[in-house]
């Protein structure tokens, strides 16, 4: 079998994702490696990957050139973008990667551009009959709009700048405080992320809903998989409206028994480890797609009511002779008064 190396970009804290691709390669008995890029040499995932490469920021004109150079030099067959900031750039550059014989697990640029804008996402879905949060730009707010509401930046991630609004005074304040805001109806109900994987033609292969029971800094801390036909049907309906390729996560709340979307991210979610552990091995499927193989859909094929309780795991680094850092195992605890 021909070696296939995987490049995870902007790897940062995505240790679980890097390890999942390493496990998928190992399960194939494959000699390929999982490589990583980041702008920060102290990023933990950079020291879990087989090798790490420094690259410019994703907004740099040289970013895609730098990624393509790594792909050529390291025989990369699959690139996995991970942050919203780079998705449009990768989508626009797909012809260049195709010419280099490299698959990129990214949706078309127009899809990523729309999903990066929470107002446009909700507007597009509602116009096609998909249940999405009523959303307003500040100039569109009706004078009698019912409270509570939710306000957030039109373009943003990780829950940064997102606030509930319960009074008119709070609304006036946050309209000034939040940059380029969108105002959405307040969805009162349990929150879910639906992980979905599509092949490169946009066909859904797997759908796994997860309840976000405890959330910290916008990422799941504790949650469980849920086999809910309404949530699965919602994801499939969105795939008929928007063109996806690779991973996508759909965020929604269930209000009065009906799931309502408030955000879509066409990339791997922060809680993807739970989806993979439930039996929906997105990395393994992506490896097969990157090899040009047809992967049969397995909608609903996962273990329901599987819980994940997340925790932090430290990685220890020390400076090396090249001016970078190398991973080390922690030393045995020193005796009281002993000097290292």
Per residue in 79-131, pLDDT tens?
A: 999 999 999 999 999 999 999 999 999 999 999 999 999 999 999 999 999 99
| Largest interatomic CA distance in the chain | 69
Predicted local confidence at residue 339, as pLDDT:
57
| Whether residue 323 has pLDDT greater than 90 | no
At the second CATH level, the architecture of 188-309 is: 2-Layer Sandwich (3.30)
Nearest-angstrom CA–CA distance, 280 and 266: 17
Span 11-29, average pLDDT: 94
Identify which of 250, 265, 276 has the alpha carbon closest to the alpha carbon of residue 193: 250
Strands of the sheet with 34-38, listed across from one edge: 51-54, 34-38, 5-8, 76-80, 103-104
Fold for the domain defined by 134-185:
Dna Ligase; domain 1 (3.30.1490)
Task: Please tell us whether the domain made up of 5-106 is placed in CATH 3.40.50.20.
Answer: yes
Over the stretch 204-258, which tens digit does the pLDDT of each residue have? Answer: 999 999 999 887 766 778 999 999 999 999 999 999 999 999 999 999 999 999 9
By the 8 A CB rule, do 130 and 234 touch? yes
Question: In angstroms, how far is CA 177 from the centroid of its own chain?
Answer: 27
Say whether pLDDT at 203 is over 80.
Answer: yes
The residue with tokens 């910290």 is 216
Residues 233-244: pLDDT tens digits? Answer: 999 999 999 999
User: pLDDT grade, residue 320 (50/70/90)?
Assistant: confident
Please, which pLDDT band fits residue 305 given cuts at 50, 70 and 90?
very high
* Confidence at residue 156, expressed as pLDDT on a 0 to 100 scale: 78
Task: Report whether pLDDT(334) > 60.
Answer: no
Is pLDDT of 332 > 60? no
C-alpha torsion angle, residues 113, 114, 115, 120 (rounded to 10):
140
pLDDT at res. 17: 97
Could you read off the pLDDT of 159-194 as tens digits, one per residue?
Answer: 678 999 999 999 999 999 999 999 999 999 999 999
pLDDT at 77: 96
Q: Where are the domains of the chain?
A: 5-106, 134-185, 188-309
* pLDDT attached to residue 127: 96
**pTM for this structure?**
0.92
Q: What is the pLDDT of residue 324?
A: 85
In order of 173, 179, 191, 210, 328, the CA distances from 231 in angstroms are 35, 32, 11, 9, 44
Residue 336: pLDDT band (50, 70, 90) is low
């Amino acid at each position: 079998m021909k070696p296939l190396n995987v490049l995870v970009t902007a790897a940062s804290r995505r240790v679980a994702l890097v390890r999942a691709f390493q496990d998928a390669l190992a399960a194939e008995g494959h000699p390929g490696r999982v490589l990583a890029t980041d702008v920060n040499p102290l990023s933990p995932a950079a020291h879990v990957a087989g090798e790490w490469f420094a690259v410019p920021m994703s907004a740099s004109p040289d970013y895609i050139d730098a990624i393509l150079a790594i792909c050529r030099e390291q025989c990369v067959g699959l690139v996995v973008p991970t942050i919203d900031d780079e998705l449009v750039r990768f989508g626009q550059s797909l012809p260049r990667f195709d010419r280099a014989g490299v698959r990129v697990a990214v949706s078309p640029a127009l899809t990523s551009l729309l999903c990066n804008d929470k107002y446009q996402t909700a507007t597009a879905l509602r116009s096609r009959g998909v249940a999405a949060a009523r959303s307003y730009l500040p100039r569109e707010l009706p004078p009698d709009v019912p409270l509570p509401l939710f306000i957030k930046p039109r373009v943003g991630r990780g829950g940064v700048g997102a606030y509930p609004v319960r009074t008119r005074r709070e609304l006036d304040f946050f309209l000034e405080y939040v940059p380029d805001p969108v105002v959405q109806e307040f969805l009162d109900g349990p929150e879910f992320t639906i992980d979905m994987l599509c092949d490169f033609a946009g066909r859904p292969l797997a759908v796994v809903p997860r309840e976000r029971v405890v959330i910290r800094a916008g990422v799941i801390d504790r949650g469980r998989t849920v086999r809910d036909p309404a949530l699965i049907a919602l994801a499939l309906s969105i795939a008929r409206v928007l063109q996806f390729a690779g991973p996508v996560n759909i965020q929604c709340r269930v209000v009065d028994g009906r799931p309502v979307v408030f955000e879509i991210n066409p990339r791997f979610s922060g809680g993807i480890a739970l989806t993979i552990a439930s039996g929906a091995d997105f990395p393994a499927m992506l490896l097969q797609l990157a090899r040009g193989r047809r992967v049969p859909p397995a909608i609903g094929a996962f273990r329901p009511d599987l819980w994940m309780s997340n925790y932090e795991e430290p990685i220890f680094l020390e400076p090396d002779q090249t001016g970078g850092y190398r991973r080390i195992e922690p030393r045995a605890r020193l005796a009281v008064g002993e000097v290292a």
